Structure formats: structure tokens, C-alpha cells
Amino acid sequence: MSGIFLIDSLRVWIRTKAQKKRLRLAQSWPIATGEVLSWKLVPAAEEVTSLATPEQIETSFYFTLNGEYFGGHFRSVALSRSEIAAIRPGTPPVNIRYDPKNPDSTAVLEQDNQGNLPFHVLSGSQGA
């Protein structure tokens, strides 16, 4: 059983390291303002979950750049059920960092979205 734990721990470490590298790169990308399309509750990722904070909000968004539509998704920090109950649905603006060479590669950072979303962002990136 300990072998499985070691493999899982290694997998999480590798994924986290790659994610941090992409987030460092995204710091220099331009920012576009997008719009939240929808959100749903999902079980919190294993790296951030706890008994007190078992869920996250997964959010879909879109933005336009030179007349073309791009989109993606991001997640909130892990939340308690009472925090989730206090959030009212809506379609607020969201600031997205995008790779100018490949706008399908995006990052949504907490520091770019303080105050405009009803929850804190678990900074993340997606795309190639």
C-alpha cells in the first residue's frame, strides 16, 4: 500500500511543479477581460481538499481577441459548504492571462481577480 502512496505523491509533485512553472511564465503574458459563462460545484482536488473544505467551484469563461473567441476554465480555492452557500450565481468579468503566441493557452491568477469574483481563485493555467 505504501508503494501506491509514493507513486501518487510523486505524481502530485510533478504536476504541481509543472503548474508552478507555467504560472511563472504567465506572469508576463498580456491580460484580457473575459466573462464567466457558468460555474458548478466539483469535489476539491486532492492537493487542496480537507474535511472542512471539500468542494471547489469550476468556472467556464470566454474572451475575445481580434474578433476570435477563446475560452477555458478555472477553479476556486477549496471552499466550505457555508462559503459556497453565501455565493450568489452570476456572470462577473474575469481577467485572463493569455499566451500571445497561442491564445488557447491561458492562466487565471488570483492577484488579477481580487474583488471582481465572489470567490478566491486557485491560480491555474491550461492549454498547450
C-alpha cell belonging to residue 12: 502530485
pLDDT tens, 58-95? 999 999 999 999 999 999 999 999 999 998 878 899 99
Q: How far is CA 35 from CA 5, 110, 124, in A?
A: 39, 16, 17
> Which amino acid belongs to residue 122?
L
Q: CA-CA distance, 111 to 97, in Å (whole number)?
A: 11
> Which amino acid belongs to residue 76?
S
pLDDT at 128 over 60: no
pLDDT at 7 over 80: no
pLDDT at 1 over 50: no
Q: CA-CA distance, 55 to 44, in Å (whole number)?
A: 4
pLDDT at 127 over 80: no
pLDDT of residue 105: 92
pLDDT of residue 91: 85
pLDDT of residue 10: 64
C-alpha closest to that of 99 among 26, 24, 21: 26
pLDDT tens, 26-50? 889 999 999 999 999 999 887 787 8
Instruction: Name the DSSP letter for residue 79.
Output: B
C-alpha closest to that of 48 among 17, 79, 27: 79
What is the Cα gyration radius of the chain?
16
DSSP 3-state assignment of 6?
Answer: helix
Q: Which residue has the higher pLDDT, 20 or 119?
A: 119
At CA 15, angle to CA 108 and CA 20, rounded to 5?
45
